[in-house]
């Protein structure tokens, strides 16, 4: 038997239960991992609430995309791994079928990767969602280059921080936003060129000051809602806005006149576009491995919780007070 986190209904963090369940044997094409650490993502909060891109179809349901640990068992047909290998999981599966919140996780082999040896288990559980998400928009699609202005909203999130780091490596100029002053210095220390506090500063005016009234080349935004109209005003003619989330609880209004006047590209995007395409997936995986093994880049961890405090960990994520990745240790 193994401790496994499941939920029996949609709701707040209190619906998460730590159950004893039989340890599953991996089927063909699957790998079982003895989990050491779990990286939390906003997607799992939304899935637990029934407000994600996919909904749990039956209860009880497990959850979780990212974990690290050691290979414990290997299903038939799997190559490239052996018992005892240190690995981490990539969000390349459906949480309706697989989850990693527990002492053991069985996942498809294509969603398992060896990670750089210089990473701890806590760090290795914190890399794939954030760096692949940022990679897809900024490298695979935008192909950012030295001197490009990139506006990164919700910049204290793990994905936002990864985007800042990737901008720095490529020579692009990361302009970050956060609502108040409390996270400003942290984001500057993480590598942002400038931090705009949207509760106290006018975003468009500040962007214009930095870009000689041209606007930013790219926007990388998980907020949407009414904020999209402001972002459109801050984007240069011919620029691109990547919308990769829906943190706002308000309806998203399409900024028609700015889009027409400037010829803006507003692109809905998730990392599943990358992991569902074999060539993009291969390029992205190698990019992340090279980034983390050949540079000074590492994921920034906010706080760790033990597995039996998974409810507290989810509540901490929903507080929006974190700076970086929340990790659960097993």
Annotate 46-66 with DSSP letters as a single string: HHHHT-SSS---SSSB---SE
Give the integer Cα–Cα distance in Å for 43 and 32: 23
Question: How far is it, in rounded angstroms, from Cα 197 to Cα 215?
Answer: 17
In angstroms, the CA 98 to CA 54 distance is: 13
Q: Cβ(156)–Cβ(323) under 8 Å?
A: yes
Q: Which CATH superfamily is domain 130-272 in?
A: NAD(P)-binding Rossmann-like Domain (3.40.50.720)
Q: Which of 166, 172, 152, 173 is nearest to 284 (CA)?
A: 166
Instruction: Give the global pTM.
Output: 0.95
Is 157 in contact with 131 (CB distance < 8 Å)? Answer: no
d(CA 110, CA 112): 6
Find the helix or strand (DSSP H, E) in which 309 lies.
none
Q: Tens-digit pLDDT profile for the chain (330 aa)? A: 999 999 999 999 999 999 999 999 999 999 999 999 999 999 999 999 999 999 999 999 999 999 999 999 999 999 999 999 999 999 999 999 999 999 999 999 999 999 999 999 999 999 999 999 999 999 999 999 999 999 999 999 999 999 999 999 999 999 999 999 999 999 999 999 999 999 999 999 999 999 999 999 999 999 999 999 999 999 999 999 999 998 898 999 999 999 999 999 999 999 999 999 999 999 999 999 999 998 789 999 999 999 999 999 999 999 989 999 999 999
Instruction: From 121, 114, 158, select the one nearest 271 (Cα to Cα).
Output: 158
* C-alpha–C-alpha distance, residues 8 and 173, integer Å: 45
Strands 16-21 and 2-7, sheet pairing: antiparallel
pLDDT score of 27? 98
Q: Please, where in the chain does CATH 3.90.180.10 lie?
A: 2-127+299-329
Q: Residue 183's CB: how many other CB atoms inside 10 A?
A: 20
- CA angle at 248 for the pair 244 and 249, rounded to the nearest 5°: 130
CATH class as words, domain 2-127+299-329? alpha beta
Strand partners, 16: 7
Q: CA 277 to CA 297: how far, in whole Å?
A: 26
Cβ distance 201 to 220 under 8 Å?
Answer: no
Alpha-carbon distance of 258 to 236, in angstroms, equals 10
Number of H helices, E strands in the chain: 11, 15
Nearest Cα neighbor of 112 from 78, 79, 88, 80 is: 88
> What is the DSSP-derived secondary structure letter of residue 102?
B
């Amino acid at each position: 038997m193994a401790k496994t986190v499941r939920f029996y209904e949609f709701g707040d963090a209190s619906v998460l239960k730590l159950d004893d369940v039989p340890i599953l044997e991996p089927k063909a094409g699957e790998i079982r991992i003895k989990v050491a650490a779990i990286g939390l993502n906003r997607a799992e909060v939304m899935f637990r609430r029934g407000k994600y891109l996919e909904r749990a179809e039956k209860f009880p349901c497990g959850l979780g995309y990212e974990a690290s640990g050691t290979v414990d068992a290997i299903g038939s047909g799997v190559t490239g791994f052996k018992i005892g290998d240190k690995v981490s999981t990539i969000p390349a599966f459906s949480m309706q079928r697989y989850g990693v919140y527990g002492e053991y996780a069985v996942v498809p082999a294509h969603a398992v990767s060896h990670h750089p040896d210089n990473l701890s288990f806590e760090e290795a559980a914190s890399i794939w969602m954030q760096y692949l998400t940022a990679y897809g928009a900024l490298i695979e699609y935008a192909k950012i280059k030295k001197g490009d202005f990139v506006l990164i909203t919700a910049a204290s999130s793990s994905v936002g921080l990864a985007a800042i780091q990737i901008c720095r490596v490529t020579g692009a100029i990361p302009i970050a936003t956060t609502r108040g002053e409390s996270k400003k210095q942290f984001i500057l220390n993480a590598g942002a060129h400038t931090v705009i506090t949207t509760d106290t500063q006018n975003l468009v005016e500040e962007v214009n000051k930095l870009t000689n009234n041209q606007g930013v080349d790219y926007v990388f935004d998980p907020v949407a809602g009414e904020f999209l109209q402001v972002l459109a005003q801050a984007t240069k003619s011919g620029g691109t806005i990547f919308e990769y989330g829906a943190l706002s609880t308000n309806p998203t209004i399409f900024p028609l006149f700015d889009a027409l006047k400037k010829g803006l590209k507003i692109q809905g995007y998730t990392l599943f576009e990358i992991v569902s395409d074999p060539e993009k997936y291969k390029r992205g995986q190698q990019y992340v491995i090279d980034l983390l093994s050949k540079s000074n880049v590492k994921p920034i961890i906010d706080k760790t919780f033990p597995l039996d405090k998974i409810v507290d960990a989810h509540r901490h994520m929903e507080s929006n007070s974190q700076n970086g990745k929340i990790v659960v240790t097993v």
